[in-house]
Chain A
Amino acid sequence: MKTKRAGPAQPKAAPSLRKAASSRYILKLYVAGQSPKSVNAIANIKKICETRLHGRYALDVIDLYQQPHLAQGEQIIALPTLVRTLPSPLRRIIGDMSNTERVLVGLDIRSEA
């Protein structure tokens, strides 16, 4: 399991209270071993997070081959899946994250860009 944790969310000029509360992102990326899709997805999401959410996100990369029991609890079907636990609502983004536009839409961080 690879884990990369960023530091606590840095206070930003939040336009609203909701934005401020949701400014911290907790992300989990479920992958299947070292398949090309998984490797791509990890690389892509890291890049996106670094450029867009620098310093205010937590990203867990979970290899389901090693922890298959997690698949049931998290309702994972497709891989790779990125789960956004915070800010709510829960979102799932599937695919290798190659389409940056859609990842941003899925994570709902496009507006902040």
Chain B
Amino acid sequence: MCGGAGCGKTLLAMEFLVRGATQFHEPGVFMAFEETAKDLTQNVASLGFDLKDLIARKKILLDFVYVERSEIEETGEYDLEGLFIRLGQAIDSIGAKRVVLDTIESLFAGLPNPLILRAELRRLFRWLKDKGVTAIITAERGEGTLTRQGLEEYVSDCVIVLDHRVSEQTSSRRLRVVKYRGSTHGTNEYPFLIDEDGISVLPVTSLALQHVVSSERVSTGVARLDAMLGGKGYYRGSSVLISGTAGTGKTSFAAHFADAACRRGERVLYCAFEESPSQIMRNMRSIGIHLQPWVNKGLLQFHAMRPSFAGLETHLALEHRLIDAFRPQAVILDPLNSFIVGDNAIGVQLMLTRLLDFLKTKQITGLFTSLIASGATVEQSESSISSLIDTWLLLRAIDSGGERNRGLAVLKSRGMAHSNQIREFLLTDHGAELRDVYVGASGVLTGSARLTQEAQDQAAQMLQKQEIERRQIELKRTHQALEAHIAALHAEFEMKKTESLRITGQEQAQGAQLAQGRVEMGLSREEDVTAKNPKRRTK
């Protein structure tokens, strides 16, 4: 095991021994060349290891090897048999299975003639192997080589490089298995953490994209938003990104989601990177979301921490540990982009990929918020993570008519039918409320413009109604008029008919009179009546 100063070699080695002693019943020998037994005991006590007890129970044997150059004079051929005897004695006395030598570098500093030492170290490695013990030998990192002597990495079976790197003023510890004979090992650098529970390394990337997905849906906490997402909300285990410019209500939507999840009896881990838990809870109370009861019930756990507290990997490791400990069904990171400091976007992307992978394999719904710098186009500013996100909600402020209003759109949502509408929403005292869609010539109508539109619509409706009523009345009147007309015509017709009858009667009478007159005239004129008018004679 090699690495520079302060990268955790001694701790990792000590943890190997302590875990071996406490969990696997494998006693261990710790041969220290740099720290005295007392110092070591004190130092690792901060990790929760009770060395004194283990030493008393003969589970661990601490041996401090003191090498002081000034006291040593070389007078000819020598070997390290003394060390062998000493180690052998220690191993045999407690039946050790594990051995740590920390750091054999000191031997090179303390003893002259590196040539002898190199030969002896080779012998030591072989000897340890013959003894059947697992040995961790720590070594300092050299210039251009893994270890300063350039020897240990070749004679050992497994080489782990520890690294402590600082970028953008935050440091992160990494670990890499350089070689491991007889096994296929992960060759990547893995971040690790040192905290009160010792060292934790993270299985940061799943080797393949093979996680099983759920088709169960979970509510977003906002009914009308559920409706926009195919009526049911997010998929369980999907990753949701809520991005928006400042003050567009990202946290509110996150809180809605948290609230809804807690209501279902699920556990939610809320990682806040810019606000304290009490601040979030106070703010959310103002829109009618009460998170405190969920915290009290143990369903909601806040984890507030500044992004600058640790490096990305450390954060990732912390998330892992929290998730493993709390086993939530949903995780909220608010906001994501506070991690992006300077130009570490690639690092953030890697971290998110790992986190998302982790969440997905665990079927945990991840909800992230992200602040977009106003002015930048959405797609550009989020290009680094957009491809990892399943459901992406975009919140934006819409400036129009001298006011800012909030709009919400579903940018994408994999695997479900989702609304293509930009909806206005209001943050009311009972949560976020989506309004109806009003689309005008210049896009969505919001705020006053929407109210105006609504008023206009109402007015127009009323006008239309009045118009219809007026028309109906008019029609009725026309109808009545027509009917009256028909009646008048009818009367006239009757009149005309009577008249025509009368006229016919008169005509007949006149005709009869005329005929009578003619007959009379014929009679008077002595005409041959029978020849000319036989009918009249018969009549």
Contacts and interface: CB of A to CB of B under 8 A. Distances in A.
A78 B66 CA distance: 12
A71 B86 contact: yes
Interface in B70-124: 71-83, 85-86, 88-90, 107, 111
A85 B402 CA distance: 93
A40 B82 CA distance: 16
A96 B89 contact: no
A95 B75 contact: yes
A56 B66 CA distance: 29
A92 B72 CA distance: 5
Most chain A CB neighbours (cut-off 10 Å) among B77, B80, B82: B82
A94 B74 contact: yes
Most chain B CB neighbours (cut-off 10 Å) among A65, A72, A93, A103: A72
Contacts, number: 105
A78 B73 contact: no
A90 B107 CA distance: 19
Contacts of B65: 75, 77
Most chain A CB neighbours (cut-off 10 Å) among B67, B71, B76, B77: B76
A48 B536 CA distance: 199
Interface residues of B, number: 24
B86 A77 contact: yes
A94 B78 contact: yes
A93 B82 contact: no
* Interface size grouping (class) on chain A: 35 or more
B73 A94 contact: yes
Nearest to B73: A106
Contacts of A94: 72-75, 78, 111
A93 B73 contact: yes
B63 interface: yes
Interface stretch (A2-10, A16-24, A29-37): A29-37
B73 A77 contact: no
Contacts of B72: 92-94
B460 to A, nearest CB: 99
Nearest to A98: B76
Nearest to A31: B81
Contact of B77 (A69, A90, A98): A98
A80 B85 CA distance: 12
The 10 closest A-B pairs by CB, nearest first: A106-B73, A95-B76, A68-B89, A98-B76, A71-B86, A76-B82, A95-B75, A79-B81, A96-B76, A32-B81
Interface of B: 63, 65-67, 71-83, 85-86, 88-90, 107, 111
18 contacts: A32-B81, A32-B82, A40-B76, A41-B76, A68-B89, A71-B86, A72-B86, A77-B65, A77-B86, A79-B78, A81-B82, A92-B73, A93-B75, A94-B111, A96-B75, A96-B78, A97-B75, A103-B75
Interface of A: 30, 32, 35, 37, 40-41, 44, 64-65, 68-69, 71-72, 75-82, 89-99, 102-103, 105-106
